[in-house]
Amino acid sequence: MIRKDIVALSAYQVADSRGMIKLDAMENPYPMPKALHEGWQQMLAATEIHRYPDADMATLRQEIAALDGLQADQVLLGNGSDELIQMILMACDSGACAIPTPTFVMYQLVSRWLRRPVVTLALDENFTLDPQKLLETSGREKAAVIFLACPNNPTGNMWPLETVRTIAQTFKGLVVIDEAYRPFADRTHTELIAPNVLILRTFSKMGWAGLRLGYALGDADTIAQLNKVRLPYNINTLTQHSAHLLLRHRDLFAKQCQRIVEERDRMIDRLAAIDGVTPFPSQANFVLVRVADAERMFAHLKAEGILVKNLHQAGTVLANCLRLTVGTPEENDALISAIEGDAP
């Protein structure tokens, strides 16, 4: 009845975080200011849901395109950027999906659902990506698509611009530059957009994780092709209306992201001062750290009521690594004190 390879999979697990300081999922820790929250609720209360949503979303796409000086027909909207990853993997030529590892798990997971082979290039212990090796591997294994998370999740580093440019301008298949962490990073890659080069973004990390809204930026014809595998009405009415309203207040969210960046840098300094703890550089809203014993540290933090992501099981370069989402200053102080309490 169900494909054997699907039966063999486990469903995506989300840890139970009830009652805990939640630093495992790269969310913005700051709620909406009260006045904006009230205005938003009033708008929602006046929203009708007995009709299907706006299917084309031309105005919303126009508003989003304008943020990067692009046109509405260069924007494709997804129910989170996860859905866009799925659309891309459904629509692109047959052939493998090539990725550096470790990277964001959905590229591999969705490829498996769609029976698309996955080709991986392991990063070295400094998380360096060799563009020539990735191109060689992709060519040899006949890859159709390369996903590059910039910055990368879970390592937090940004590949050098030259690395991204070389891959984008040399590979003949589709290159997806995933900028999920754009609000916290030094640069974007929109200048690399080409018929075979797409940029992925999300509003999740900026503060709207619960709305589920992501977007792809690309060449108008490529976007039009991908749009053919978009489910009708994939963005619900409440999300669409919320996005219109909240985009008008984007400076407020940008300020929150700036505070997160400052907190991230403060956390890295404080973590570096703890014996036996090595934080890695980050351009995202999380910090990857290596500790003496990640399993023990994870359990200790959990017992202290703090949930982070344990990456130890993920394999060699992530041995004894934890991914710490940047929270509020109070949450980060609690986290750092708890880490100090368990450091050797």
Ligand X SMILES: Cc1ncc(COP(=O)(O)O)c(C=O)c1O
Positions in the binding site for ligand X (CB under 6 A): 26, 80-82, 104, 149, 153, 178, 180, 202, 204, 214
Chain residue at closest Cβ approach to ligand X? 80
Query: In this complex, which beta carbon is closest to ligand X, that of residue 80 or of residue 279?
Result: 80
Token reading at 48? 């009708």
Query: In this complex, which beta carbon is closest to ligand X, that of residue 74 or of residue 103?
Result: 103
- Among left, alpha and beta (phi > 0; psi -120 to 50; other), residue 71 is beta
Query: In this complex, which beta carbon is closest to ligand X, that of residue 120 or of residue 338?
Result: 120
Mapped onto helix, strand or coil, the DSSP state of residue 230 is coil
Residues with Cβ within 8 Å of 200's Cβ and at least 6 positions away in sequence, in order, are 81, 84, 85, 176, 177, 178, 179, 180, 214, 215, 216
Interior angle at CA 308, CA 268 and CA 26, nearest 5: 75
Rounded to a whole number of angstroms, the minimum distance from the CB of residue 48 to ligand X is: 26
Nearest CA to 320 out of 46, 153, 125, 108 is that of 125
Rounded to a whole number of angstroms, the minimum distance from the CB of residue 180 to ligand X is: 4
Query: In this complex, which beta carbon is closest to ligand X, that of residue 105 or of residue 274?
Result: 105
Rounded to a whole number of angstroms, the minimum distance from the CB of residue 287 to ligand X is: 14
Q: Pinpoint the alpha helices (H) of the chain.
A: 4-7, 34-45, 58-66, 81-91, 106-113, 131-140, 161-170, 220-226, 237-247, 250-272, 294-303, 329-342
Rounded to a whole number of angstroms, the minimum distance from the CB of residue 115 to ligand X is: 22
Query: In this complex, which beta carbon is closest to ligand X, that of residue 83 or of residue 342?
Result: 83
How far apart are alpha carbons 165 and 148 in whole angstroms? 11
Residues with Cβ within 8 Å of 238's Cβ and at least 6 positions away in sequence, in order, are 44, 47, 49, 211
Parallel, antiparallel, or unpaired: how do β-strands 306-307 and 21-22 relate?
A: parallel
Residue with tokens 């108008």: 220
Mapped onto helix, strand or coil, the DSSP state of residue 158 is coil
Query: In this complex, which beta carbon is closest to ligand X, that of residue 28 or of residue 196?
Result: 28
Rounded to a whole number of angstroms, the minimum distance from the CB of residue 285 to ligand X is: 10
Query: In this complex, which beta carbon is closest to ligand X, that of residue 104 or of residue 159?
Result: 104
Rounded to a whole number of angstroms, the minimum distance from the CB of residue 344 to ligand X is: 31
DSSP code of residue 281: P
Residue type, position 237, single letter: T
Residues with Cβ within 8 Å of 182's Cβ and at least 6 positions away in sequence, in order, are 188, 201
Rounded to a whole number of angstroms, the minimum distance from the CB of residue 72 to ligand X is: 20
Query: In this complex, which beta carbon is closest to ligand X, that of residue 138 or of residue 153?
Result: 153
Query: In this complex, which beta carbon is closest to ligand X, that of residue 154 or of residue 342?
Result: 154
User: How buried is 303 (Cβ within 10 angstroms: 0-12 exposed, 13-18 middle, 19+ buried)?
Assistant: exposed
Rounded to a whole number of angstroms, the minimum distance from the CB of residue 83 to ligand X is: 7
Rounded to a whole number of angstroms, the minimum distance from the CB of residue 315 to ligand X is: 18
